[in-house]
A and B are shown apart, each in its own frame.
Chain A
Amino acid sequence: MLKINNLHVKLEEEDKQILKGVDLEVPAGKVHAIMGPNGSGKSTLSYVLSGKDGYEVTEGSATLEGEELLDLDPEERAAAGLFLAFQYPVEIPGVGNMTFLRTAMNSQRKARGEDELSAADFLKLIREKAKSLEIDADMLKRPVNVGFSGGEKKRNEILQMAMLEPKMCILDETDSGLDVDAMKLVAEGVNALRAEGRSFLVITHYQRLLDHIKPDVVHIMADGRIVKSGGPELALEVENNGYHDILAEVA
Chain B
Amino acid sequence: MALPQAKLDATQARIAQLEMPEGAAWSNAARQDAASRLRAMGLPGPRDEYWRFTRPDALNAPEAPSAAVLDAEVPPLFDDIDRLRIVFRDGEFDAMASDDLSLENLEIERLSDATSKDIHWAKDLYGVLETRGQTPVARPFAAMNTAFATDGVVLRATGKVSKPVSLVYLHENTESDAILHFVIRVEEGADLTVLESGPAAARFNKCMEVEIADRAAFHHVRAQGRDHERLAVTHLFARLGEESTFKSLTLTVNGRLTRNEAVVEVTGDNAIAHIAGAAVGDGDFHHDDTVFITHDAINCESRQVFKKVLRNGAVGAFQGKILVKAGAQKTDGYQISQALLLDEDAQFLAKPELEIYADDVACSHGSTSGAIDEEALFYLRSRGVPSAEAQDLLTLAFLAEAIEEIEDETIADDILSRLEGWLQRHRSA
Contacts and interface: CB of A to CB of B under 8 A. Distances in A.
B382 A84 contact: yes
B393 A103 contact: yes
A75 B401 contact: no
Interface string A36-55: 00000000000000111100
Given A90-B375, A92-B397, A51 B386 contact: no
Given A94-B397, A94-B398, A107 B386 contact: yes
Contacts of B390: 75
A7 B336 CA distance: 47
B380 interface: yes
Contact of A51 (B374, B381, B393, B401): B381
Contacts of A144: 379
Given A90-B375, A94-B398, A50 B382 contact: yes
A93 interface: yes
Interface residues of A, number: 33
B385 A90 contact: no
A78 B383 contact: yes
B394 to A, nearest CB: 7
A123 interface: no
B230 to A, nearest CB: 29
B420 interface: no
B384 A75 contact: yes
A94 B338 CA distance: 14
Contact of A94 (B378, B379, B384, B400): B400
Contacts of B382: 50-52, 74-75, 77-78, 83-84, 86
Contacts of B389: 103, 107
Nearest to B385: A107
The binding surface of chain B is classed by DSSP as helix
A53 B378 contact: yes
A185 B350 CA distance: 48
B387 A93 contact: no
B391 to A, nearest CB: 12
A90 B375 CA distance: 7
A27 interface: no
B387 A90 contact: no
Contacts of B398: 94
A160 B381 contact: no
A73 B389 CA distance: 14
B65 to A, nearest CB: 37
A160 B400 CA distance: 24
Interface in A59-100: 73-75, 77-79, 83-84, 86, 89-95, 99-100
A111 interface: yes
B383 A164 contact: yes
Contacts of A107: 383-386, 389
B384 A73 contact: no
A108 interface: yes
Contacts of B374: 53
Interface string B268-281: 00000000000000
Contact of B386 (A52, A75, A86, A89): A75
A63 B401 CA distance: 42
A160 B385 CA distance: 13
Given A94-B397, A107-B386, A75 B381 contact: yes
A75 B385 CA distance: 6
Contacts of A104: 380, 383-385
B376 interface: yes
Interface in B339-389: 373-376, 378-387, 389
A84 B383 CA distance: 8
A232 B382 CA distance: 30
A92 B379 contact: yes
Contacts of A91: 376
Given A86-B379, A100-B380, A104-B380, A94 B385 contact: no
Contact of A103 (B385, B387, B400): B385
Contacts of A164: 383-384
Nearest to A93: B397
B384 A111 contact: yes
A193 to B, nearest CB: 16
Contacts of A50: 382
Contacts of B24: none
Contacts of B383: 78, 100-101, 104, 107-108, 160, 164
A143 B384 CA distance: 18
A53 B394 CA distance: 18
Interface in B390-419: 390, 393-394, 396-401
B381 A95 contact: no
Given A75-B384, A108-B384, A95 B393 contact: yes
A53 to B, nearest CB: 7
A30 to B, nearest CB: 22
A51 to B, nearest CB: 7
B198 to A, nearest CB: 28
Nearest to A103: B385
A251 to B, nearest CB: 35
Nearest to B403: A94
Nearest to B396: A94
Contacts of B386: 73, 75, 107, 111
Interface in A135-169: 143-144, 160, 164
A52 B381 CA distance: 9
Nearest to B404: A94
A92 B376 contact: yes
A72 to B, nearest CB: 11
A172 to B, nearest CB: 11
A93 to B, nearest CB: 6
Given A53-B374, A79-B384, 14 more contacts: A50-B382, A51-B378, A74-B382, A75-B387, A78-B381, A78-B383, A90-B373, A90-B378, A91-B376, A92-B380, A101-B383, A107-B386, A111-B386, A164-B383
6 contacts: A74-B382, A75-B390, A78-B383, A83-B382, A94-B401, A107-B386
Closest 7 CB pairs of A and B: A94-B397, A78-B384, A108-B384, A104-B383, A74-B381, A90-B379, A94-B400
